[in-house]
Chains A and B, each alone.
Chain A
């Protein structure tokens, strides 16, 4: 299993541009999550999904959108990028009833 994969690894965006961060897991996990981590801070939940077709807001959803059309994929969309969205983004997944989350390697995004 590849586990949780994320693309791209790095990206620089100009203010106002849009992009999609990709996340795929091959473990057939129902639950998937998007976090952002600012320097020196813990992880803050952006959006999560408990299964295909179901998404819900986390702690910091503003400026982001998600979709979950398949069990494997959970893309995160940034519309109108802002400098405040400069961060490292982690995707994670877990199986129903199992608390450990498996993390992807992260995407480092800079908005200038």
Chain B
């Protein structure tokens, strides 16, 4: 059975801090790893990672995948209150996604 574990479960930091969110996985027929941001509605897509060691970057967010150690990290620098959300990691294997339980990030002004 495919499995995705995210840590920490929740994180509270001050505005301007840098955070690192972790995602480890076990999946047969790995195709890709995806990060989503979820506020009080449907998840919105952030990144898709397929190759080890290649950083994906979008503004203050970046992510990297290690296929040998089976994990990914999502970094957010200079955090803002608008970054407060649940961040979901999902792994694509066998035509479907397996999601982790998410990391709830709260940014204090």
State whether A33 touches B101 (Cβ < 8 A): no
Q: How many residues of B contact A (CB 8 A)?
A: 24
Q: Which of B54-62, B64-72, B76-84, B88-96 has 4 or more CB atoms under 8 Å from chain A?
A: B88-96
Please tell me which one of the listed residues A42, A58, A105 contacts residue B42 in the complex, with CB atoms under 8 A apart: A105
Residues in A whose Cβ lies below 8 Å from that of B100: 42
Give chain A nearest CB distance to B43 CB in angstroms.
5
Residues in B whose Cβ lies below 8 Å from that of A45: 96-98
State whether A106 touches B42 (Cβ < 8 A): yes
Residue of A nearest to B33 (CB): A99
The number of residue pairs between A and B whose CB atoms lie closer than 8 Å in the complex comes to 51
Residues 28-75 of B at the A interface (beta carbon under 8 Å): 31-32, 34, 41-45, 48, 50
Please tell me which one of the listed residues B43, B44, B45, B101 contacts residue A41 in the complex, with CB atoms under 8 A apart: B101
Residues in B whose Cβ lies below 8 Å from that of A40: 101, 104
A106 to B90, CA, bound (A): 18
Give chain B nearest CB distance to A29 CB in angstroms.
13
Residues in A whose Cβ lies below 8 Å from that of B25: none
Given contacts A42-B101, A48-B96, contact A100 B42 (CB under 8 A): no
Give chain B nearest CB distance to A45 CB in angstroms.
6
Residues in B whose Cβ lies below 8 Å from that of A58: 96
